[in-house]
């Protein structure tokens, strides 16, 4: 009898072991059923209804190739032969991950102010969001990597910015552009000036229209505890530690490609760039991967509105922003606070477990959410999205 019961119990446990039990990390419970998911395999795309679903699917699928398991992945492409990328690369944040979570939570303190009695039968189809730079897309799709983003962005008519830390080379990504598609490239101010000059030449030769130059990390990485547990380095001396406006101007003089400073996290730096005539800047805390306890993009924009509103209103400098964007409503809130375009980094990487089809679905989900939210708050074009459609008083009080 004992033997029969034991055998039956083992059979039951074996049958249950194939279902995925996933730590949701506090993400909203939207009724997603993962019991049929097989660990290590991408679940059916029809199971996915929002970007949080995509993160959980990536966690289920990438357990051995990028979300959060121990170990390193070496030599991801010929241009980075000595790099060691932590397998917790996509998800990890700095130290206690306070900034990472703040990016996700800040939206709760920004309320949308909907208007009724508006004709919203027809709305603008322009997409104000873009796929921003995030490293090593090959961790989610080893075959096509960043090329999935190029192709999906081309179909949707949105911007794609590739990271210099890519599986595909600068030339390969540029060559994948469709019909003179607009592509930007992200770059770091390397301390090795020869490497920096070579990257600038390659980016220009490959046809990229602009460079997002990350200007706020004199160390390669912040201290990421999750990554440290997996033997990834905390920082290095590969980035300039004496980078200033003189250096920035000198770099711009070396290329015809417009350089846009990325990593602005203080309203004073944004105002400074505006006063110097820069055409654009990029507000970002890099997904909470550098400084723990840093301001979110929404807070920085509010600070800028409070202290130098003319720089947001005169139209002379475009502002890109990112950080914790998971819904169309998040996009609207950043636009209302002063951003011209809103980037997504982690979520496209998670979507990439399905390849190009996954990125297509991410864009479709966000586009549908955005158009729906626009109708619900009573606006029909992006030009109508301004500070009058949000109430951020809670954040404003904190900034006092």
Active site residue 70: no
86-399: CATH class: alpha beta
With CA atoms as reference, report the closest residue to 291 among 227, 221, 235: 221
Q: Which of 52, 239, 286, 327 is catalytic?
A: 286
Per-residue pLDDT, 179: 92
Please indicate if the annotation marks 342 as binding a ligand.
no
* Pair of tokens at residue 395: 């954040």
With CA atoms as reference, report the closest residue to 120 among 332, 373, 329: 373
**Percentage of the chain exceeding pLDDT 90:** 70
Quick: pLDDT tens for 298-320.
999 999 999 999 999 999 999 99
Q: Which of 4-13, 73-82, 90-99, 250-259 has the highest mean pLDDT?
A: 250-259
pLDDT confidence bin for 47, thresholds 50/70/90: very high
Question: Hey, where are the domains in the chain?
Answer: 86-399
* Pair of tokens at residue 252: 């711009």
pTM as predicted: 0.88
* Pair of tokens at residue 44: 């059916």
Please indicate if the annotation marks 224 as binding a ligand.
yes
Decide: 34 and 326 in contact? Cβ < 8 Å.
Answer: no
Please indicate if the annotation marks 345 as binding a ligand.
yes
Residue 237 has pLDDT above 90, yes or no: no
């Amino acid at each position: 009898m004992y033997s029969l019961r034991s055998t039956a119990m083992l059979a039951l446990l074996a049958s249950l072991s194939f279902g995925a039990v996933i730590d949701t990390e506090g993400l909203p419970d939207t009724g997603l059923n993962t019991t049929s998911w097989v660990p290590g395999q991408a679940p059916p795309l029809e199971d996915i209804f929002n970007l949080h679903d995509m993160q959980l699917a990536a966690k289920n699928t990438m357990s051995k190739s990028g979300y959060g398991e121990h170990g390193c992945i070496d030599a991801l492409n010929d241009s980075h032969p000595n790099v060691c990328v932590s397998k917790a690369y996509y998800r990890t944040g700095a130290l206690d991950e306070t900034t990472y979570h703040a990016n996700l939570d800040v939206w709760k303190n920004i309320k949308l102010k909907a208007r009724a009695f508006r004709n919203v039968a027809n709305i603008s189809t322009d997409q104000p969001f873009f796929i921003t730079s995030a490293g090593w897309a090959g961790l989610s799709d080893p075959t096509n990597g960043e090329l999935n983003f190029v192709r999906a962005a081309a179909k949707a008519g949105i911007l794609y910015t590739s990271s210099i830390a890519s599986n595909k080379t600068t030339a390969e990504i540029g060559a994948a552009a469709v019909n003179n598609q607009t592509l930007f490239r992200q770059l770091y101010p390397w301390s090795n000036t020869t490497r920096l000059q070579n990257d600038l030449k390659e980016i220009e030769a490959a046809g990229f229209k602009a460079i997002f130059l990350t200007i706020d990390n004199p160390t390669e990485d912040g201290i990421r505890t999750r990554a440290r547990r997996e033997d990834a380095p905390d920082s290095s001396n590969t980035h300039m530690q004496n980078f200033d406006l003189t250096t920035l101007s000198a770099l711009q003089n070396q290329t015809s490609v417009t350089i846009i400073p990325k990593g602005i996290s203080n309203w004073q730096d944004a105002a400074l760039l505006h006063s110097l005539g820069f055409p654009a800047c990029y507000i970002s805390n890099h997904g909470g991967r550098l400084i723990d306890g840093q301001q979110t993009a929404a807070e920085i924009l509010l600070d800028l509105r409070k202290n130098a509103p003319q720089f947001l209103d005169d139209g002379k400098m475009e502002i890109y922003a990112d950080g914790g964007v998971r819904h169309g409503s998040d996009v609207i809130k950043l636009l209302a606070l002063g951003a011209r375009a809103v980037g997504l980094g982690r979520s496209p990487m998670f979507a990439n477990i399905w390849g190009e089809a996954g990125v297509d679905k991410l864009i479709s989900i966000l586009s549908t959410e955005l158009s729906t939210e626009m109708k619900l708050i009573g606006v029909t074009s992006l030009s109508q999205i301004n500070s009058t459609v949000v109430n951020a008083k809670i954040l404003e009080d904190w900034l006092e």
